[in-house]
Each structure stands twice: as structure tokens, then as C-alpha cells.
Amino acid sequence: MICLIPKTNFDFVKRRYIFFAISAVLVLGSIASIAIKGFNYGLDFSGGTLLQVQFKNPADTKDIREALSKNGIESEIQTYGDNSFAVRVKGSQENVNEIGDRIKGALGTMGNEYTVGRLEYVGPAVGRDLSKKAMWAMILSLFGIIIYIAFRFSNPLWGVTGVMGQFHDIIVVIGALSITGRELNLMTVAALLTIAGYSINDTIVIYDRMRENMHLNPRIKLYDLINLSINETMSRTVITVLTVFIATVFLYFMGGPVINDFAFAMLVGLICGVYSTVAVATSLLFQFSAESKTPHVPVLSGAGAKVSIAAENKPAAMPAVRKEQPRNKKNGKKRK
């Protein structure tokens, strides 16, 4: 069997304060950017101008987007067939005619005659009421995750730290969107939900291994249990995320501008999700436990810990029974 990732023997819990410092910088930096710079909301959240046109000769979406980009117009283009296209550009309701004239001027540089079907203002696809409902749905789903993990692993603290890892990933990703000025639209929201799913899934895999190791050795310390379980699942975690990461890299560089923001959010989230799974959620679990307040005596971890666990659970050997030698029937003495 080919081993792509060698067995690791890394003490994650010992370096938890380094991880906490890194996470604090990432989270505080993201919150600061969101508070100061804000978001670049897409059409789904801000609304804008819609211009529907029909070309006389066959036209391609790529050519239309290039003509608009050359004139400094960022747009979303939808095709209806029969050379009909709808161009949507962000803007306020008061600037509909001005934006419409800019779009017409840009399309005129293509050298393809067209007729205007309609020019109007379209409101945001995600209104305030829908945003509020989506927020409540996310809060309730996270609360449900806490309850599920608490029942599955018989400890609500495990669920709380798992959800804290999710919050960590989501805040860092939306902070990256704010810092880079990328659009926050329905596609990037879908990326956030996907990242949250990957993050909690990896965390549950480690928690499940911790539960198995607890059954193998009920007397193992939480410190050693966390390190052992993370090192045992490290190969699975890296390989699983690496396959998705490679596919997302191709989407980012070759998928075009339509899904570029989605791919960017996924790339940041995948890296952050692996980090939070192995370094944040489990470290918080130990930090909130009573064991964190007592000094730790280092023991073997990784493969060596398996041996020590097996040795501790191995039943004690039975004492050797001395075989009685036969006696001489005449004098009752033992034979030599």
C-alpha cells in the first residue's frame, strides 16, 4: 500500500497558545475590515439596472462581457436565446438612465446592431426579510449541531467548541472577501455554507476517533487523547481536503469571472477549515476542560501511544503454576 502522508507525532495541545494568537489576529483583522471597509455587495443584495437587448447577428456572452469591461462596467449577463441578452449592472434607482446609456455605448463598440427591449431598475434578490430569515436559519442550524454533537459524544462542550471552529472559519472568509473587495453575492454565501459543512465534518471525524480511543483506554488523559486522535486522522484530513483544494484551484484560474469569487472563498475556507479543525476546536476543548489547569506529564503519542494503550488494556498474565513432581510410593520421597 502506498502511504502518501507519513505518520505524524506532533504535540498540538502544547502549542495551543500559538494557535490562539494566530486565530486572534485573523479574526480581529477580519472584524476590523468588516467594520471599517464593509462589503462589496453584489446585485443579489444591492439591486441595479437591467438592460435587455437583441442583436441582429449572433453574439457571444464572452464578447459582450469584454466590451463592457473595456468601458469599466462590471456586469452580470444572462442569455434568453434568439440573440437576446439581459445585462445587469449595480447602481441606484436614480441612475438607471445614466447607467443604461453607458451600457448602450459599450455595446455599440461591438459593431453588431441591436435593439433595446427594456431598461428598468431591479431590486435586490435578497431582501431584508429574506436576510433575516436566513440569519435565523443559520443560528438554529448551529444550535442543532451543538445538540447533535452533545448527544453523540455525551458532552455539550464538544459541540460548543466545534461550532466555535465554524464561526472562526466563516468570519475569516468573509473578512478575506472584505479585505480584497470581492463581491458578496449568493454564490459566495453558498461557499460559506459549504465551508461550514466541511469544517464541522472534519471536526466530527477527530471527535469520533477521540471517542474510540477513550473506549480503548478509559484512563488516557485528554491532553494525550487529543494529540493521538489528531495525528491518527491527519492523513485522512489532508488527503480529503487536498482533493477538493486541487479542483477549486482549477475553478479559480480557469472557471472565468462568474465563479471566481466563489472559488476564492472556497480556497480560503478550505485552508482555514483544516487549520481550525486540528488547531482551534480541539485546543479550545482542552482549554475549557479542568485538565488544562493541572500540569501535564508527557507520554508517548502517535504510534507509540497505540502500543502503550494496548499494553495497559492487555489482561495481566496468570501466575505460573509449579508442576508437582511424582512421589516414590515406597518411601514417599520426591524423585530427583
What pLDDT digit, counting tens, does each position of 162-185 carry?
A: 889 989 999 999 999 999 999 888
CATH architecture of the domain with residue range 13-39+127-297: Up-down Bundle (1.20)
Task: Indicate the domain borders of the chain.
Answer: 13-39+127-297, 48-122
| Contact between 241 and 276 (Cβ < 8 Å) | no
pTM: 0.77
Q: Do domains 13-39+127-297 and 48-122 have the same CATH topology?
A: no
Q: What is the pLDDT of residue 124?
A: 76
Question: pLDDT of 6-62, one tens digit each?
Answer: 777 889 999 999 999 999 999 999 999 999 998 888 877 777 888 889 888 888 888
Type of residue numbered 144:
G
48-122: CATH topology: Alpha-Beta Plaits (3.30.70)
Residue 114: pLDDT band (50, 70, 90) is: confident
CA-based angle 123:128:129, to the nearest 5?
115
Backbone angles phi, psi at 55, to 5 degrees: -85, 150
**CA separation for the pair 67, 179 (Å, rounded):** 28
- Nearest Cα neighbor of 172 from 274, 255, 291 is 274
How far is 36 from 195, CA to CA, in rounded Å? 25
